[in-house]
Amino acid sequence: GWEQEFFVISKKAFMERPDLLSCNRTVMGAPPARGQQADTNYFGQIPNSVAHFLEAVQKEMWLLGIPMTTYHNEVAPGQHELA
C-alpha cells in the first residue's frame, strides 16, 4: 500500500526558515549527520504533539474513506510516516 513520509517542525522553527516561508518546502539544508540512522529515532516514542496531529489526520482520512492504519517515527529526527 501507500505510505507518506514527512518531517514535523515547530511553528517557531518554521517561522525562522526563509525557504519554508517563501515556498513551503525545504530548499536549503546540509548533508545528514553520520549516525542519524540510529534505532533511537525509529523505535522512540512519538512526541505527544505529533501523535495528536496524526490521530486527527487518521480520523479525517477515515471520514473520507481512506484507510490509514499505522503511523510511526522514521529514521531521521523529526521524520514520521503514515500508511
Mean pLDDT of 15-26: 79
Instruction: State yes or no: pLDDT of 36 exceeds 60.
Output: no
Q: Would you say 68 and 1 are in contact if contact means Cβ atoms under 8 Å apart?
A: no
| Residue type present at position 25 | R
Backbone angles phi, psi at 60, to 5 degrees: -65, -40
Instruction: State yes or no: pLDDT of 35 exceeds 60.
Output: no
The per-residue pLDDT for 29 is 64
Q: Going by C-beta distance under 8 Å and a sequence separation of 6 or more, which residues neighbour residue 54?
A: 46, 71, 80, 82
**Any idea what DSSP says for residue 14?**
H
Q: Would you say 83 and 4 are in contact if contact means Cβ atoms under 8 Å apart?
A: yes
| Nine-digit cell string for 63 | 471520514
The per-residue pLDDT for 20 is 81
